[in-house]
């Protein structure tokens, strides 16, 4: 399977929860802007805990969709690792940008 097709499938999967994840990231960025790096640890654990909640929600309510991805050659682990990695990279990038503009 081509890399382009794999990325397309991962993006289709990420559409299930991108809004919730982006909203939490925006809240964390705002709180970091307001209070500074003194609350960084709290924001990090907030992001991790909300990712866990999203994981539980998607695994519970979208469990039949995983057959679609499995039939196309992508396992659950590949889907979750790639989407959470992208999400955390975007999170850290945005937090680092707040430090530059603050």
Structure confidence by residue, pLDDT tens digits, 47-98: 999 999 999 999 999 889 999 999 999 999 999 999 999 999 999 999 999 9
- Containing structural domain, residue 51: 3-101
Query: Would the pTM count as exceeding 0.75?
Result: yes
pLDDT of residue 1: 77
pLDDT of residue 100: 83
Contact 92, 28 (CB under 8 A): no
Q: How many domains does the chain have?
A: 1
pLDDT of residue 61: 92
Q: What is the DSSP string of the chain?
A: --HHHHHHHHHHHHTTTHHHHHHHHHHHHHHHHHHGGGGHHHHHHHHHHHHHHHHHHHHHHSTTHHHHHHHTT--HHHHHHHHHHHHHHHHHHHHHHHHHH-
């Amino acid at each position: 399977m081509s890399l382009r097709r794999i990325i397309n499938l991962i993006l289709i999967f990420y559409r299930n929860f991108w809004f919730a994840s982006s909203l939490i990231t925006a809240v964390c960025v705002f709180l970091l802007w307001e209070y500074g790096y003194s609350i960084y640890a709290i924001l990090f654990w907030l992001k991790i805990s909300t990712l866990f909640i999203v994981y539980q929600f998607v695994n519970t309510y979208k469990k039949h969709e995983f057959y679609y991805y499995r039939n196309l050659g992508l396992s659950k682990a590949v889907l979750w690792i790639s989407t959470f990695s992208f999400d955390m990279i975007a999170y850290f990038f945005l937090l680092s940008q707040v430090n530059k503009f603050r």
